[in-house]
Chains A and B, each alone.
Chain A
Amino acid sequence: MARTQSAVTAGRGIASRPAVGTPAPRSHRRLRKRVELTVLLVPPVALFVGFVIVPMIFAAWYSLYDWSGYGPLNDFIGLQNYSGVLTGPVFHQALLHNVIIAVLSVLIQLPVSIGLALLLNRRVRGRTFLRLAVFAPFVLSEATAAVMWYELLQPSGPVDALLNAVGLGGFVHYWLASTSLVLYSVFAVATWKYIGFGIVLLLAGLQGVPAELREAAAIDGATPWQVTRRITLPLLAPTIRIWIFLSVIGSLQLFDLVWIMTQGGPANASTTMLTYQYVNGVERTQFGYGATVSVVLFIISLVFALVYQRYALRRDTAGAVTRAVG
Chain B
Amino acid sequence: MRGSRKPAIAGIAVAAALTIAACSSSTTSSTSPATSAGSSTGASAKVTLTWWNNGNTQPLLGVWQSVAAAFHAAHPNVTISINAIQSDLFTTKMPIALKSDNPPDIFQQWGGGQESTQFTSGKLANLSSLTSSWISELGAAAAGWQVNGQQYGIPYDQHVVGFWYRKDLFAKAGISSPPTTIAQLESDDAKLKAKGITPIALGGGSRWPDAFFWEYFAVRECSQSVLQSSIKAVNMTAPCFSQATKDLTSFMATNPFQGGFNATQAQTGAGSSAGLLANGKAGMELQGDWETSVVPALTSNKNILNELGWFPFPTVPGGAGNPTAVLSGGDGFSCTTGASEPACAEFLQYIDSTPVQEELVQKANVGLPANSAAEAVLTNPALVAAAKAHADAAYDAEYFDIAFPVNPGQALDNALADFFAGKGTNSTIINSVSSSSGH
Contact = CB atoms under 8 A, between A and B. Distances in A.
The answer to whether A and B assemble together is yes
Contacts of A85: 439
A112 interface: no
A71 interface: yes
Interface of B: 8, 10-12, 14-16, 18-20, 91-92, 95-96, 98-99, 117-118, 120-122, 204-207, 258-265, 269, 271, 406-407, 410-411, 414, 417-418, 420-424, 438-439
Contact of B439 (A84, A142, A269): A84
A267 B262 CA distance: 9
Contacts of A68: 95, 117, 120, 406-407
B263 A262 contact: yes
B14 A266 contact: no
Contacts of B406: 68, 283-285
Contacts of A154: 260, 264, 271
Contacts of A234: none
Given A262-B205, A284-B407, A285-B407, A90 B439 contact: yes
A24 B259 CA distance: 78
A35 B435 CA distance: 56
B245 to A, nearest CB: 16
Nearest to B410: A284
A265 B417 contact: yes
A174 B407 contact: no
Nearest to A280: B439
Contacts of A287: 95
Contacts of A13: none
B263 A174 contact: yes
Q: Which 6 A-B pairs have the closest CB atoms?
A: A69-B95, A177-B260, A267-B423, A266-B262, A176-B263, A267-B421
Contact of A179 (B99, B414, B423): B423
Given A68-B407, A260-B11, A283-B10, A267 B424 contact: yes
B95 A70 contact: yes
Interface in A202-221: none
27 contacts: A68-B95, A68-B117, A68-B406, A68-B407, A69-B99, A70-B98, A70-B120, A71-B99, A71-B121, A85-B439, A154-B260, A154-B264, A154-B271, A174-B262, A176-B205, A179-B422, A259-B15, A265-B421, A266-B205, A267-B417, A267-B421, A267-B424, A268-B423, A279-B414, A283-B10, A283-B410, A284-B438
A286 B409 CA distance: 12
Given A182-B263, A263-B207, A265-B207, A70 B117 contact: yes
A143 B19 contact: yes
Contacts of A280: 438-439
A263 B117 contact: no
A70 B15 contact: no
B15 A88 contact: no
B262 A155 contact: no
B117 A147 contact: no
B8 A260 contact: no
A263 B260 contact: no
Secondary structure dominating the interface of B = helix
A91 interface: yes
B15 A256 contact: yes
A215 to B, nearest CB: 47
Contacts of A262: 205, 263
B260 A174 contact: yes
Contacts of B118: 70
A143 B15 contact: yes
Contact of A174 (B10, B92, B259, B418): B259
Nearest to A155: B260
Given A255-B15, A266-B418, 20 more contacts: A68-B95, A69-B95, A70-B99, A143-B19, A154-B271, A176-B205, A177-B263, A256-B15, A263-B10, A263-B207, A265-B417, A266-B263, A266-B417, A267-B418, A268-B418, A268-B423, A282-B91, A284-B410, A285-B407, A289-B439
A322 interface: no
A260 B260 contact: no
Contacts of B91: 282-283, 285
